[in-house]
Chains A and B, each alone.
Chain A
Amino acid sequence: MDCSTYRFLRFAYALRQWLTRRFTPLGLGVLVCLGISAIIGMDTNQSLSYQVFTFLLALLSVSILASLFIRYRLSATRILPRFGTVGMPLKYRVVLQNKTQKPQKGLKLMESFAGSFPSLQDFRGISTRSKEMMERRRQWLRIEAQRRWAIAPTLALPTLSSTDSTEAIAEITPLRRGLLQFKTLTVACPDPLGLFNVCVTLSLPQSVLILPKRYQLPPIQLPGVRRHQSGGVALASSVGDSEEFRSLREYRPGDAPRKIHWKSWAKVGKPIVKEEQDEYFVRHALILDTFQPESHSEVLEEAVAIVASLAHEVQTQESLLDMMFVGLEAHCFTVGRGLGQTERMLELLASVVPCQDKSFDSILPVVQNRFSLLSGCICILLTWDDARKTLVEQLQNMGIPTMVLVIEGDLFTQNVRSSNNHPAFECLKESQSSVHILKLGQIQQGLLKL
């Protein structure tokens, strides 16, 4: 039953796509009128709608027949940028080569993307989640909207000359972060009556990475002082203060063999080690909560957008920023002081997937390992429960100033309501720590108040 309904929905989607490609807006209007007049004009004694019906039927038939005589060939290449951003127009060039002897004018270009239709698993998920028909429909429409990769309006192409290649600037608006995969490029040419399109579809699979959407942030002063970075920084050449030699001293058990000063040993006859100045600098953590049962949620998207905004806006010339999250595995990515690039972090964020199979506790070891290094921490949480409270309390106990941003979605409301466990200020012991609740739909306003 599920499978056949899904097939029907898929067929309806494909039909919709076909109709919008194959018919011009005027042609679609004629098609709709044809259907209506067919219904009204069923009885030719009752009305004259059958005349409208026969006329429109003849019109569409002649249009389709005339379109059979239109023939043209062309090739195309897309020149795509490296990145795009959700909600921001993405412009790219399309180079078209007319392979016929005469110039082609009045052509239109249409793009299609892979993976724009929800999968059977998504559909089955809806069926198992809710039994009510209306609710199922609502959820289906929501998933259909979520799966839509980009808005790609039809582009009117300039006249394609017979000899030269022609360049056109296309523009799409990405709607989802991740790898946007272009599938085919269709060039449509209307028939002489302007109702039916003759389409040439070129298979041009290409992709572009769509970065998460970013919010405007006020200048954020991240709290915290310099912390000793144990073991110096192995990456000292590029990160941290330059490695300064301080003195020589006798070897004590436990000193690393790499610190032995071989020349002095040779001179003195007993092991001598180098002492170096320790590394102190500011290091912040950016913890992204990805733990949720759903495969897709608006709350997670908002959380990723906030992290992307923070990663993009926070100045990292003088400090380090560790972004930590658990996707399929635990990730920790460091940028700042010349190490790593914010772009790379955004790329990583573009591919963040929710962690559905683990609990929030699985991020704790990753964070705990870095407690001694951290000067401050920003946690972006999807909800508020005991596990999350534990993390914040541990950070507080370690004296790490923490800024907690909780996004108020359905899960948050559920948890807070069921356990009466509101993210209270009582768990904040650090004077510089704070908790902010950001309402879904008013994230920008909430962030501006930080």
Chain B
Amino acid sequence: MKPRFRLTIVHLCCLAILLWGAHTAQTGRMLFAIPMVLMIAGRPLIQWQWNLSLSNLKRLFQLCGGLLGVLLIIFLVTQRSFSIIYLLLQWLPVCAFPLILAQAYCSSLPFLLRLLFTPSYALKEKISIKQTPINLYYPYFALCLLSASAANWNALSASFYGSIFSLVALLLWNYRPQRANPMLWVCLLLMVGGMGFVGHLQLHQLQAKLEQNTAPWLSGVIGDSVNTYQTSTHIGSIEAMKLSNAIVFRVATEKRLSSPLLLREAIYNKYGSASWIALRSKFLPIPPNPDGKTWKFSTMASTSTSLKISTNLDAGKGVLKLPNGTSEIHELSANHVRKNQYGTVEVEGSPGAIAYQLQFNPHHSGDSPPTEEDLQIPDQEIPAIEQTLDILNLNGEPKPASQVLTQLSSYFAKDFQYSLKPSDASNSATPLSAFLLKNRSGHCEYFASATTLLLRGAGIPARYAVGYSVHEFSPLEGQYIVRSRNAHAWVMAYVNGTWRSFDTTPPDWNAQEDSAASPLQAILDLWAFVGFKLASAGVWGFVGLAIAPITAFFLWKWVRKFWIRRSVVPVIVELEPMPPLIKEGLDSEFYLIEQSLEELNLKRIPSESLQAWMTRLNAELPEPEFEILNSIINLHNRYRFDPQGIEATERETLRSLSQAWLDRSHKRVLN
């Protein structure tokens, strides 16, 4: 009769691993999942046993920790975004797999684990606690499910829920209480499934609604990611601005730039309470060209410049950094590209590194024509603007746009200073009026905001742009690098029927911020460059990174060995002369007697003991001589073999008796 199949936690674990592998199939994790399942499920077919000691188990934990550490380093180098937490979670089943392998192949592992987690007092008192052995399959099952869920799998989200439901239901069925009625159990579980399904849909919708309502404010607070609807400036802030030196993106140009290049992220048109808002911003999808990687925004100008931008797409979406007048983007791997009427471009794709090439002509802007909002000045700023325009003599008849720009440019360059420190605005109506009329010092947001409003006051439509200034060329990388502190704000002015960038921030702002760079910046840049290269290299980069520490370790070992061999001067130790080996009793005079007896043909046979020899000699020697010889032998035996030895007087007796005996023997022979 065939044994009845019973679903155990091992089978459930295999199913969970398969779910994890299938879930992340796009990233090739199924290649890991299948061998993992084979190794666990094939256990009954393999006779081999893994004998694991407690110290080996600790090493196994260290191995898992090491794997996790290596993965963390790789993700830190290549991703540098919030998504590394999710990536790390997705790889956790691989990191913990050595432990599961030990669970499968080492029958003593559950008990070793129990020993490892036994309270110290029980170990000390040698108290045996009857506790169930620890089975790692259960936590691993949960880990696989959670890891599988850590990836975004929107396309198959319903099937994922179904899989999770089925696996957990199977587990619960196996461990249902003996008093539970199966029908009731099934009903309750179906109820749970339904509640969970409705719940997760509601939760998702709730977040979408919350995002819709609060995202414009939230994303402004959260950090680097640009809010395309609104930006809060640091105008009026009482804290000094602190900027990071981290490299945000890289720009490769055909030739070196003669002046800083401004790459904008977002454009706004309404100012109020130190914030800029993009009024009635409407993003429209841009269809890609048939190749799927080219996106066209406007007709390309006859003379356009090309450049390549390499950046990171955090969480799979972001805002593209583009120069004014961008007509086309090539080589951009993205699912969706959307652009609003002010020229801000949003992109959605897979998270991680992206690189795109673009064509642009700064004199050929494709942004929407100016509207009434582009000429509006907030009421509370009007007095200061009017006063400044009076100073510049721009308040009267409209003057040519180029003249206004030149006048404003020279006014700010001459009378204003760049500073990241907060200014005192206590006696002024607004921080911006304090900047214009009193302090005359501030950062780029002050300059850009003031210029925008002044241009509007002079009758020129203007918008506020935020983005980055590209000016730092890295000889190491052979391209421009743009740091977080290169973030900048400037003005888009509508001159001669097109929008053009207009920056009134004193040109020394770059130098001021560069001076605040860390002395270790070069090392940090090198580290960032390695990360960038690895991310660009893809899988081979990871392999290289994994091999590098091993290579470095062997290199270090080799250098150490070589260095030690060369540096260690052989030390010649002068050995003290060994004391002569004294074997007690070997200088006994009895040996001379033995020799003399040998000459008398009374030789002792090698196998003969002294006692037996003496018995034989008894017949050959005269009685008194034999008696003396007997006493000599007794003394000799004690001298030779007694650990206590003999006293000096006895030694002397032995010597004298032996000598006398020899003399007599000699005389006898002569006679």
Residues of A within 8 A of B (CB): 26, 29, 32-33, 36-37, 40-41, 43-59, 61-62, 66, 86-87, 104-106, 145-146, 148, 151, 153, 171, 173, 175, 189-194, 213, 441
A51-B161, A87-B127 known; 13 new pairs, CB 8 Å cut-off, are A47-B149, A47-B150, A48-B157, A55-B196, A59-B192, A66-B188, A86-B125, A104-B179, A105-B179, A145-B120, A189-B179, A193-B188, A193-B192
Chain B residue contacts of A43, Cβ below 8 A = 207
Contact A48 B199 (CB under 8 A): no
CA distance A49 to B153 in the complex (A): 10
Q: Show 22 A/B contacts (Cβ-Cβ < 8 Å), sorted by A.
A: A26-B171, A29-B142, A32-B142, A37-B146, A37-B149, A40-B89, A40-B150, A45-B152, A48-B152, A50-B203, A52-B149, A53-B203, A58-B192, A105-B179, A145-B120, A148-B121, A153-B129, A175-B121, A192-B176, A192-B181, A192-B184, A192-B185
In the complex with contacts A51-B200, A57-B196, A62-B192, A192-B180 CB distance below 8 A: yes
CA distance A171 to B127 in the complex (A): 13
Contact B196 A51 (CB under 8 A): yes
Query: B520 contacts the other chain (Cβ, under 8 Å)?
Result: no
Closest partner residue, chain B, to A195 (CB atom): B172
Task: Report the minimal beta-carbon distance from A213 to chain B, rounded to whole angstroms.
Answer: 7
Task: Report the minimal beta-carbon distance from B205 to chain A, rounded to whole angstroms.
Answer: 9
Kindly name the residue among A59, A66, A104, A171 whose own CB sees the greatest number of chain B CB atoms within 10 A. A59
Chain B residue contacts of A26, Cβ below 8 A = 171-172, 175
Contact with A along B138-156 (1 / 0, CB 8 A): 1100100110111111100
Query: B191 contacts the other chain (Cβ, under 8 Å)?
Result: yes
Task: Report the minimal beta-carbon distance from A153 to chain B, rounded to whole angstroms.
Answer: 6
Which of A55, A61, A190 touches B164 (beta carbons < 8 Å)?
A: A55
CA distance A41 to B18 in the complex (A): 21
Contact B204 A40 (CB under 8 A): no
Task: Report the minimal beta-carbon distance from B612 to chain A, rounded to whole angstroms.
Answer: 47
Which of B120, B168, B175 touches A194 (beta carbons < 8 Å)?
A: B175
In the complex with contacts A87-B126, A105-B179, A48-B149 CB distance below 8 A: yes
Kindly name the residue among A44, A50, A86, A190 whose own CB sees the greatest number of chain B CB atoms within 10 A. A44
Contact B188 A62 (CB under 8 A): yes
In the complex with contacts A51-B161, A55-B192, A62-B192, A175-B125 CB distance below 8 A: yes
Query: Which range contains the number of B residues in contact with the other chain?
Result: 35 or more
Contact A54 B200 (CB under 8 A): yes
Contact with A along B179-223 (1 / 0, CB 8 A): 111001100110111011101100110011000000000000000
In the complex with contacts A49-B149, A52-B145, A87-B127, A44-B164 CB distance below 8 A: no
In the complex with contacts A36-B146, A55-B168, A148-B121, A153-B153 CB distance below 8 A: no
Query: B414 contacts the other chain (Cβ, under 8 Å)?
Result: no
Contact A55 B188 (CB under 8 A): no
Contact A59 B168 (CB under 8 A): yes
Which of A47, A148, A175, A194 touches B152 (beta carbons < 8 Å)?
A: A47
CA distance A148 to B121 in the complex (A): 10
Contact B125 A87 (CB under 8 A): yes
Contact B191 A62 (CB under 8 A): yes
Closest partner residue, chain B, to A36 (CB atom): B146
Contact A52 B192 (CB under 8 A): no
Chain B residue contacts of A46, Cβ below 8 A = 83, 86, 152, 315
Task: Report the minimal beta-carbon distance from B95 to chain A, rounded to whole angstroms.
Answer: 16
Contact A55 B165 (CB under 8 A): yes
Contact B129 A173 (CB under 8 A): yes
Chain A residue contacts of B165, Cβ below 8 A = 55
CA distance A151 to B125 in the complex (A): 13
Residues 126-141 (chain B) with a chain A CB within 8 angstroms: 126-127, 129-131, 138-139
CA distance A321 to B519 in the complex (A): 80
Query: B119 contacts the other chain (Cβ, under 8 Å)?
Result: yes
Chain A residue contacts of B412, Cβ below 8 A = none
CA distance A173 to B192 in the complex (A): 40
Contact B177 A55 (CB under 8 A): no
CA distance A252 to B253 in the complex (A): 130
